[in-house]
Amino acid sequence: MSAPYLAAGLPQPAPAPDGLDAPYWEGLAKGELRLQRCRACGGWQWGPEWICHHCLSFDLGFEPVAPKGRIYSYERVWHPVHPALKDQGPYLVALVEVPQAGGVRLLGNLLGDPRQTVPFGAPVEGVFERHDHSDAPFTLLHWRLMG
Amino acid sequence: MNRTLRGSIAVAGVGETDYFKRGQSPDPEFKLALKAIMTACEDAGISPREVDGFASYSNDRNDPSRLAAALGCRELRFANMQWGGGGGGGSAAIGNAAAAIAGGLAECVVVFRALAQGQFGRFGQGPRRKAVFGEGAFAAPYGLMSPAQMFAMKVQRFLHEHGVGQEALRAISLAAYHHAQNNPRAVMHGRPLDEAAYDSSRWIVEPFHLYDCCLENDGAAAMVLVPAERAKDFPHVPAYLLGAAIGSHFRAGAPVHNAPDYATSTFKTLAPRLYEMAGVVPGDIDVLQSYENFTGGVLMSLVEHGFCPPEGCNDYFVKERFLAPDGDLPLNTSGGNLAECYMHGLGLNVEAVRQIRGQSSNQVPDAQVSMVISGPMVTPVSCCIFGSEAAL
């Protein structure tokens, strides 16, 4: 297994205590992207919420979505704001639009050379990064530009 | 019934503590708040015992009941906190206080903000917790934690959509540092900035260089608001509130960067409301204070308040335009959050009042209409316009 994109020691994601986003994290652990969709109107929304903002139904579920999208925005971070990143150097964070899920946007690191040019609108595919050896194992979804 | 705040209240007093680099205030935060309020009351020529209301924002920690007890206020009638973080509530707290006075809830309301980051920790650093959940779980593990990192994503998109260059951001920073050199209160007084120093400064997160980012400071600021009919009972020239607007656009708070209109300072729906209440147009604004958490937020704020079209930014954003006394639109004339003090933006409102009084260290001649834009890119945001008696 290749090394994680960012140095160890950053805050680790945990499912919300109220259960709202649990299906998302369970999906990632199984290598699947699951996003929230309304069973009443079919509308997508992200981040998850208890009510559908399209039709105001409470009947919401999570559906598997192909982890593909396109770059909506990105940033190259230089200044470390967390001790774990002290020796990291620059890194890329992307905001990815997912057309097959109503155009919702997801965050993630953009893998590859942190100094690469990042074209807006470029297609990207998801990469699942497992952290199995953490005391509370989790999986992150990252992105890389498609060939 | 014409529901408006226009001309209904006036600012009778303003006060600030000395401003310190973060962590360097000799006083704890609550004492800073008390000192700023005492100074504002002294400026208004009133006893703090006459204050009957307090309004603040951004989860200020200094409880109005404790303030009222400490100051011996005869009665507390209004204790208000504007929801939302960042500086988005600066002008909202003034609007809320004004609404309370105009609606008969209170007579003399202090708007205040106090910060001692040494005592309570910094804004510009990531969480130290081991686990994060909720919205943080979708961002912090990717190294997306600080305000600069959260807002760079919006600004990058805006610059891309409209072809705006780095020089436009630079002009905002240079104007702020220029003004700070004439302002002895400014933390960056005596620390001028030029193009070369900006260009060679390190990146924090693209597109923000070091000098695109606000300071982090300790201090406090306060303003005393009274009904307009009392405006002339005080020692200084009154600054009247012409208008205020608070809020955000459709689903601006959609989680994890999912606002449908994303690359915005959040002012598109506020600006028309503000101008309508104030009865002015952008061309009437004599001087502008626009909250700089980051220069990109100022750029988008000016666009959304109608000073320039998004496609025109590269031509519009030049330093000279923003300099007092002679520029077309003197901007952040105290040095603002970049170079005076990061008083969470309330210092900008104090400076706007100073301009109406003719007391700024970078005075705009004959300033009659003085605007403040508070807290771009967060939700809710707010903005307000002060005017002289002649502007009523």
Q: Tokens 């540092």 appear where?
A: B177
Dihedral angle sign, alpha carbons of residues B61, B66, B67, B70: negative
Helix, strand, coil percentages for chain B (3-state, nearest 5): 40, 20, 45
Q: Do A95 and B142 touch (CB under 8 A)?
A: no
Given a cut of 80, whether residue B120 has pLDDT beyond it is no
Q: Do A105 and B256 touch (CB under 8 A)?
A: yes
For residue A110, give the DSSP letter.
B
Of B177, B198, B291, B316, the catalytic one is: B291
> Which residues lie closer than 8 Å to A134 by C-beta, 6 or more apart?
A12
pTM of the model: 0.97
Mutate to test the interface with A, among B123, B146, B258, B377 (most CBs of A within 10 A): B258
Mean pLDDT of A49-65: 98
Q: Tokens 């320039």 appear where?
A: B308
User: Above pLDDT 70, what percent of chain B?
Assistant: 100
Q: Do B206 and A10 touch (CB under 8 A)?
A: no
pLDDT attached to residue A1: 52
Domain parsing of chain B, residue ranges: 9-119+214-391
Q: Tell me the per-residue pLDDT of A2-37, one tens digit each, with 9 for 90 and over.
A: 789 999 999 999 999 999 999 999 999 999 999 999
Residues of B contacting chain A (CB within 8 angstroms): 124-146, 148-149, 152-154, 156-157, 160, 202-206, 251, 254-258, 262-263
- Please classify residue B392 by burial: count the beta carbons closer than 10 Å to its beta carbon, then call 0-12 exposed, 13-18 middle and 19+ buried: middle
Residue in B23, B39, B91, B31 with CA at minimum distance from that of residue B61: B31
Domain parsing of chain A, residue ranges: 19-65, 66-147
Radius of gyration of chain B (CA): 19
Mean pLDDT of B274-283: 98
B373 vs B91: CA distance, rounded Å: 7
To the question of domain A66-147 being in CATH 3.40.50, the answer is no
B87 vs B379: CA distance, rounded Å: 10
Mean pLDDT of B252-259: 97
Whether residue B342 lies in the annotated active site: yes
- Residue A18 CA to its chain's centroid (Å): 20
CB-CB: which of A6, A11, A75 is closest to B132? A11
Q: How confident is the model at residue A135 (pLDDT cuts 50, 70, 90)?
A: confident
Pairing mode, strands B239-247 and B381-387: antiparallel
Q: Tell me the per-residue pLDDT of A91-121, one tens digit each, with 9 for 90 and over.
A: 999 999 999 999 999 999 999 999 999 999 9
Chain A hits for B129, CB-CB cut-off 8 Å, are: 11
Concatenating the DSSP letter of every residue in B187-248 gives TTTT----HHHHHHSPEEETTEEGGGB---EEEEEEEEEEEGGGGGGSSSPPEEEEEEEEE-
> Which residues lie closer than 8 Å to B104 by C-beta, 6 or more apart?
none
Q: CB pairs below 8 Å between A and B: how many?
A: 135
φ, ψ dihedrals at B315, nearest 5°: -85, -35
pLDDT attached to residue A26: 97
pLDDT attached to residue B112: 98
B300 vs B375: CA distance, rounded Å: 11
Q: Tell me the per-residue pLDDT of B135-165, one tens digit each, with 9 for 90 and over.
A: 999 999 999 999 999 999 999 999 999 999 9
Q: Tell me the per-residue pLDDT of B23-49, one tens digit each, with 9 for 90 and over.
A: 899 999 999 999 999 999 999 999 999
Given a cut of 90, whether residue B117 has pLDDT beyond it is no
Q: How confident is the model at residue B1 (pLDDT cuts 50, 70, 90)?
A: low
Please give the CATH number for the structural domain made up of B9-119+214-391.
Answer: 3.40.47.10
Q: How confident is the model at residue B128 (pLDDT cuts 50, 70, 90)?
A: confident
Residue in B348, B213, B243 with CA at minimum distance from that of residue B290: B348
The residues facing A71 across adjacent strands are A96
Q: Tell me the per-residue pLDDT of B292-342, one tens digit each, with 9 for 90 and over.
A: 999 999 999 999 999 999 999 999 999 999 999 999 999 999 999 999 999
pLDDT attached to residue B273: 98
Alpha-carbon distances, residue B8 vs A121, B99, B104, B225, B276 (angstroms): 50, 9, 11, 10, 15
| ipTM confidence score | 0.98
Mean pLDDT of B179-191: 96
B291 vs A75: CA distance, rounded Å: 22
B49 vs B68: CA distance, rounded Å: 8
For residue B42, give the DSSP letter.
H
Residue in B345, B375, B56, B28 with CA at minimum distance from that of residue B218: B28
